[in-house]
């Protein structure tokens, strides 16, 4: 399993609620529509909470300003990830996503990377 993690910061003119609404209700359906061309098997949006509980935890730990959200995308394998880039449909899907992301994400300040998960604890798994 190959995973892409994308830590998102919103464009400066957008408020957090506006950013998260666009991401969930406009960009999310676009990702879903383009999924066959991209070959992803899972896409999750993790939206930052801006409430006293979240802010309190950040302050107690002395943590820096949080990201506005995290996108997580999975492919069955590196081969399936690479395969989508070899098709015209996959390249067009990637272009459309990047074009849309530029409308609400501060791309220059939003790191992303490919990774492999190592589950250390999962209550649902038996040993």
> Tens of pLDDT along the chain (127 residues)?
999 999 999 999 999 999 999 999 999 999 999 999 999 999 999 999 888 887 888 889 988 888 999 999 999 999 999 999 999 999 999 999 999 999 999 999 999 999 998 989 998 876 5
Give pLDDT, residue 52.
83
Give pLDDT, residue 127.
59
The CB density around residue 110, as the number of other CB atoms within 10 Å, is 18
Domain boundaries defined on the chain: 12-69+76-115
Cα 71 from Cα 88, distance rounded (Å): 24
Dihedral sign of CA atoms 98, 101, 102, 108 in order: negative
Structure tokens at 31: 């990702």
Give pLDDT, residue 53.
85
In what helix (H) or strand (E) does residue 84 lie, and over which residues does it extend? Answer: helix 78-85
Cα 83 from Cα 41, distance rounded (Å): 14
Fold of 12-69+76-115: Alpha-Beta Plaits (3.30.70)
């Amino acid at each position: 399993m190959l995973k892409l993690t994308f830590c998102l910061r919103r464009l400066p003119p957008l408020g957090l609620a506006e950013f998260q609404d666009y991401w969930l209700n406009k960009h999310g359906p676009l990702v879903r529509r383009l999924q066959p061309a991209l070959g992803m098997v899972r896409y999750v949006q993790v939206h930052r909470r801006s409430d006293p509980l979240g802010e309190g935890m950040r302050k107690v730990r002395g943590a820096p300003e949080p990201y506005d959200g995290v996108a997580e995308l999975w492919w069955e394998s590196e081969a399936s990830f690479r395969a989508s880039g070899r098709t015209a449909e996959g390249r067009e899907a990637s272009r459309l996503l990047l074009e849309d992301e530029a409308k609400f994400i501060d791309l220059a300040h939003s790191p992303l990377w490919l990774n492999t998960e190592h589950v250390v604890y999962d209550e649902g798994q038996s040993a």
